[in-house]
């Protein structure tokens, strides 16, 4: 398949790989991390998406995932509000928007400062310099805090696997990309709704489209700033809430929110186990973590941690 400029936006040639690409770096935890300067990403433009599910099929193939419950040719599934699962790293849903049917492709957004990595105390998640957030099953203890932490409800757990269940999510096709290949979904998309390239170039391209077609696009590149920014970016013809995307997340990265939460409770660093055990107890119930359940879990865990902190302080003072 030929690679158009739109799909493969100004990417470094294979010759540049050895110098530009390096091994995974630890997840960023500093405040106001702007992202690795040459990190890569994907731009999804929902005005170009026709909801063909070809990207789902390509993802399934390149990641050697199990066959789908319903054929990729069956477009009736588009009307269900599906989420990613342990067997599907990406899905496409259809929404009835103010401009008619609109599609959204869902997968890991590869946050600049990933909440999943911040929540993982064994560092199973890494933010790579290349932009992908990768996962190392060999160190994962299966606590599933990452599932609670992710604001986009992406990581899924292999509940049906008795031996060594893993967290499953889109890898931004890291193994392909470091070989100089496009992510499977980007390569296959027949309408160029997906473009791959340096994040900064994708942002420039998205701004240009908004500038050229102000009547078509909303003036907002989703992922440029949300939760500190993401390597997967979105352009939309309708307000993002119409395609079920959260606009209430704010621009503060997860690591900074965690730092705020930590500083608000005395000695809380030593209380992480209390906080996390509380979250885990609720998380254990089901893999379908509804938003209100997650909020409840965090509230209860924070309350438990605060009470523990107060008790410890009172003991110290006495």
Instruction: Give residues in contact with ligand SF4 (CB under 6 A).
Output: 49-55, 58-59, 62-63, 89-90, 92, 103, 105, 107-111, 114-116, 133, 150, 152, 154-155, 169-173, 183-185, 188-189, 191, 193-194
Nearer to ligand SF4, 116 or 309 (CB): 116
CB 195 within 8 A of CB 9: yes
The minimum distance between CB 122 and ligand SF4, in angstroms, equals: 15
Q: Which helix (H) or strand (E) holds 313?
A: helix 291-317
The minimum distance between CB 210 and ligand SF4, in angstroms, equals: 19
SS3 207: helix
The minimum distance between CB 244 and ligand SF4, in angstroms, equals: 15
The minimum distance between CB 42 and ligand SF4, in angstroms, equals: 7
Nearer to ligand SF4, 49 or 289 (CB): 49
The minimum distance between CB 315 and ligand SF4, in angstroms, equals: 36
**Token pair belonging to 297:** 């879990």
**What's the CA gap between 28 and 63, in Å, rounded?**
26
* Residues linked to residue 167 through DSSP beta bridges, in sequence order: 157
**What's the CA gap between 200 and 43, in Å, rounded?**
11
Nearer to ligand SF4, 54 or 306 (CB): 54
**What's the CA gap between 197 and 215, in Å, rounded?**
26
Q: Which helix (H) or strand (E) holds 102?
A: strand 100-106
**What's the CA gap between 116 and 171, in Å, rounded?**
13
Nearer to ligand SF4, 116 or 305 (CB): 116
Nearer to ligand SF4, 62 or 140 (CB): 62
Nearer to ligand SF4, 49 or 309 (CB): 49
What order of strands is seen across the sheet that includes strand 8-9? 8-9, 194-198, 40-45, 232-235
The minimum distance between CB 241 and ligand SF4, in angstroms, equals: 18
């Amino acid at each position: 398949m030929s690679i158009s400029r739109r799909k493969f936006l100004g990417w470094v040639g294979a010759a540049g790989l050895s110098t530009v690409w390096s091994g995974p770096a630890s997840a960023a935890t500093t405040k106001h991390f702007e992202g690795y300067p040459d990190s890569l990403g994907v731009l999804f433009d929902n005005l170009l998406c026709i909801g063909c599910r070809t990207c789902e099929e390509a993802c399934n193939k390149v990641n050697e995932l199990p066959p789908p419950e319903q054929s990729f040719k069956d477009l009736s599934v588009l009307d269900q509000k599906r989420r990613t699962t342990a067997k599907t790293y990406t899905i496409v849903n259809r929404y009835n928007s103010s401009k008619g049917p609109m599609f959204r492709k869902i997968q890991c957004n590869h946050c600049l400062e990933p909440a999943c990595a911040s929540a993982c105390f064994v560092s199973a998640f890494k933010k790579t310099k290349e932009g992908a957030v990768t996962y190392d099953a060999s160190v994962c203890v299966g606590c599933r805090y990452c599932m609670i932490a992710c604001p986009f409800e992406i990581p899924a757990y292999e509940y049906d696997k008795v031996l060594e269940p893993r967290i499953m999510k889109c890898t931004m096709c890291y193994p392909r990309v470091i070989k100089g290949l496009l992510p499977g979904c980007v390569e296959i998309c027949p309408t160029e709704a997906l473009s791959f390239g340096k994040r900064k170039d994708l942002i420039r391209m998205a701004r240009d489209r908004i500038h050229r077609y102000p009547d078509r696009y909303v003036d907002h590149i989703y992922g440029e700033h949300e939760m500190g920014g993401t390597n997967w970016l979105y352009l939309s013809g309708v307000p993002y809430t119409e395609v079920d995307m959260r606009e209430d997340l704010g621009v503060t990265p997860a690591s900074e929110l965690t730092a705020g939460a930590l500083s608000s409770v005395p000695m809380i660093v030593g209380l992480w186990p209390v906080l996390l055990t509380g979250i885990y107890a609720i998380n254990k119930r089901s893999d379908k973590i509804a938003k209100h359940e997650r909020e409840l879990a965090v509230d209860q865990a924070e309350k438990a941690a605060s009470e523990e902190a107060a008790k410890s302080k009172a003991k110290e003072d006495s």
